[in-house]
Amino acid sequence: MKDSLVFSDLDGSLLRHDDYHFEEANYILKLLHDNHTPLILITSKTFAEVQLLQKKLSIKCPFIVENGAGIFIPSDSDIASEIQTEEAFVKISTAQSYLELRLFFKQLQQKYSIRGFGDMLVEEVMELTSLSQESALNAMKRDFTEPFVIQGDVDMKAFIKEVKQEGLDVVKGGRFYHLISQNQDKAIAMKHLTHLYEEYYLRKLKVIALGDSENDFTMLQAADVGILIPKYDGSYAEIADEKIIKAPFAGPKGWNRALKDIFHV
């Protein structure tokens, strides 16, 4: 366990889909903490959202936001020890800015029936996500990506072609589509952060990844152990890879059980 890194998606994985609770995962959360095994959150959520969640989870590890677009490493962590900075976090990202994405998104809206977070009032985000007002406001503090919904018939093939021509991409999460820079997916960010850990500790580490949605597939396939969590209705996202382990339950209950099996505890 001490030679492992655990990368975890949040919504529908470590957090329950309906109320975002994680108490059913407390056993493994404590085990990881006691064994100093890094739990690296890798999510479509924003920097502001993850900061608050890490306090609730009592962890202080690097984390990856907005579907791999940004890596944030606490400046007092081991792997940042060679850097002298007054900032609380070291940020790693080559993604386009949120402003650049929003300007292009407005162009897309002239052709396609789509609506992004930047078009919504906080009340609408609250309704779509079941978040509190404070949490919804944090979800709207975007740095790199734009979550959006499709409101009519959209030719997705033409839509994605146009997006890729702009150097961007589209990934599908549990609740939203996300407009994101190309080569900024979860697997790439996971590999980058794993490399930093292995360079620091001078040894190979076992990478375990957990997620429930299509935007987790590359991460699960790239990990040494990939665990697919079922959706809240019990169904599994379709991934054509027999190596992927399927957790028996949805949300934190399945998350906890799958890791208990992996660690033989």
- Same domain? For 195 and 176 the reply is no
- Same domain? For 104 and 176 the reply is yes
- 18 catalytically annotated: no
Tell me the residue range of the domain where 167 lies: 98-181
Average pLDDT, the chain: 94
pLDDT digits (tens, 9 = 90+) for 118-134: 999 999 999 999 999 99
- Same domain? For 201 and 258 the reply is yes
pLDDT band for position 174 (cuts 50, 70, 90): confident
Question: Looking at the 3D structure of the chain, how many domains does it have?
Answer: 2
pLDDT digits (tens, 9 = 90+) for 82-112: 888 889 999 999 999 999 999 999 999 999 9
Residue 204 has pLDDT above 90, yes or no: yes
Backbone angles phi and psi of 207, in degrees to 5: -100, 120
- Same domain? For 78 and 10 the reply is yes
Among 163, 181, 199, give the residue marking a domain's end: 181
CATH of residue 170's domain is 3.30.980.20
The predicted pLDDT at position 193 comes to: 97
- Same domain? For 57 and 122 the reply is no
CATH of residue 80's domain is 3.40.50.1000
pLDDT band for position 7 (cuts 50, 70, 90): very high
Task: Given the residues 9, 143, 169, 212, select the one marked as catalytic.
Answer: 9
In whole angstroms, give the CA distance from residue 208 to residue 210: 7
pLDDT digits (tens, 9 = 90+) for 24-41: 999 999 999 999 999 999
Mean pLDDT of 234-256: 93
The predicted pLDDT at position 12 comes to: 94
Q: What pTM, to 2 d.p., does this model score?
A: 0.92
Measure CA of the first residue to CA of the last residue in the chain; give whole Å: 11
Half-sphere exposure (Cβ direction) of 37: Cα atoms closer than 13 Å:
21
- Same domain? For 174 and 202 the reply is no
- Same domain? For 17 and 126 the reply is no
- Same domain? For 111 and 90 the reply is no
**Residue 108: which residues within 8 A CB-CB, separation 6 or more?**
114, 159, 162, 163
The predicted pLDDT at position 259 comes to: 98
- Same domain? For 196 and 90 the reply is yes
The predicted pLDDT at position 22 comes to: 97
Mean pLDDT of 172-193: 92
